[in-house]
Amino acid sequence: MNKVTALYCRLSQDDKIDGDSYSIINQKKILEDFAIKNKFTNYEFFIDDGFTGTNFNRPEFKKMLNKINDGEIGIVIVKDMSRFGRNYLEVGYYTEVYFPSKDIRFIAINDNYDTSNKTDNEFLPFKNILNEWYARDISRKTKAVFRIKGESGKTLTNHPPYGYLKDKNGNWFIDKKAADVVRKIFKLYISGTRICKIVNILKEDKVLAPIHYKFNMGLNTIRKPIKGREYIWSRNTILNILTNKAYIGTTVNFRTYRKSYKDRTLLKTPESEHRVFENTHEAIIDNDSFNIAQKMRKNKRVLNKYNTPDKFLGLIYCAECKNKMFLKRHKEEYKNFYACSTYKNEGECSFNSIKADYIFNYCLQALKRIINIKDKNSFFNSNVSKSTIKLSDLNKLLNKYEKKADEFKMIFKNLYADKLADKINDEQFRALYEIYAVDERKLQNEISEIKKQITSKKEELTNVPKFLYLIEKYKDNILSDILNQEMLNSFIDKIIVHKAIGKGKNRIYKIDIHWKYIEYIDFSNLSN
């Protein structure tokens, strides 16, 4: 049997910066000329273009190994050892153990290495170490360039997400056709459609999956698309779209990292280490829709055998224990009710519940009353002035607490000074420090909460027009008694349900609706 001579070429993205000397075309010419000159006429190329040399998880290399295992290859030739690999341990395994065990002759042309000539191979291990050092140095330099680029706000990905394309200057612009699909996905999800249903809708509508869409446009794809799966969308693809801040015009850098230049596995970076840059490109999704989708994602959608959707998912909270209330479903939908999630746990909360129809009608009637307000601007200006009073009170409270925080700093400073002056010993210092530290932590938590409330109040003062816009947008739906999940999440931040007073027909509920954009709405001067 005339065995094949394998001519192996490899080029990584990093190697491309060194110019044409390492190009695949150049490697092929050198290998082919060498094969012909040495009368290795039965040769076959194996080319890994764009793969690192620090590991051997490369498709063409694996293909070559399979043919070696099947006894089809007798000689392997590379331009030099760096093209074969840059991990000296693995390179040593193949050259010292694997190839000899398979009776493979291995040649590295520029390194004058040939396993058929044992006397010329003594310096090979040192060359392999130098090749690995080179890979480590290139990795370090590449990371430095990426760090500078990422800190400047430039995107680090070479592949814009589905919905965007890239011009010759590297700037992103909206791909209208794909962007419409992204908007459809958000619209379906916010309206209460489950992800598995969205997957089916896209398949039924014959919408090309992102990888097939890009491939059909002649764009580079991370992996090769599988024929016959053109319209198959995965749950993860939908989730990635729903959580990608790029769709609101924001660039998020340093989301992933690798432990080592040898390990190509991507790991998630803690969110605190991300670098976020807003308004870096045109948005496909507005901030409100994106935020609603994120809030809905945090709440697990549970469907029982009755498959009744929960329109108020994640919106209703118990006034007593501050925990979420969940929908308890029945065959007859009018019997559905919300119950506190912790009432079964002894001592945490008493039984607090409210009928689903009641809370639905309560919210619907509240919105109708807002629609029926004749002079909305005057009404909301009145509410804004009351919010301004609340904001003033909050600022006064914040100043008071921040002064207390300064007092704690002075206490800690004096404690430390007393310890240094030997006025108190280490044990007394630790005991006193812990006592004050507990109170200081509580104070810092209160300060943090007040700051959140102040931010919320400031947003109320500036977002009344947005609330009125939503009223006009959904006016016809509301007047037709339609109130879906999208509308509820657009209008409402959360609903607080207090424990009912009385029983049966005399039962009275107290409900607090925290509206978005204008939290405080005083209906006391309005008639039904």
DSSP-H helix ranges across 421-517: 426-462, 464-473, 475-479, 485-491
In this prediction, residue 19 carries a pLDDT of: 45
Residue type, 293: A
pLDDT band for position 365 (cuts 50, 70, 90): very high
What integer is the mean pLDDT of 464-472?
A: 85
In this prediction, residue 20 carries a pLDDT of: 43
**Measured in Å, how far apart are the chain's first and last C-alpha atoms?**
96
| Cα–Cα distance for residue pair 381/363, rounded to 1 Å | 22
Q: E-assigned strands of 55-188? A: 73-78, 105-108, 113-114, 164-166, 172-174
- Give pLDDT tens digits for 29-82: 999 999 999 999 899 999 998 888 877 889 999 999 999 999 999 999 999 888
Q: Which 8-state DSSP code applies to residue 516?
A: S
Pairing mode, strands 113-114 and 105-108: antiparallel
- Give pLDDT tens digits for 251-280: 887 666 565 545 556 677 777 777 778 888
- Give pLDDT tens digits for 218-245: 877 767 778 888 889 999 999 999 998 8
Roughly what angle, to the nearest 10 degrees, separates helices 176-190 and 195-204? 140
Residue type, 188: L
In this prediction, residue 180 carries a pLDDT of: 95
- Give pLDDT tens digits for 179-204: 999 999 999 998 888 899 999 999 99
In this prediction, residue 183 carries a pLDDT of: 94
Residue type, 239: L
Dmax of the chain from CA atoms? 102
pTM of the entire predicted model = 0.54
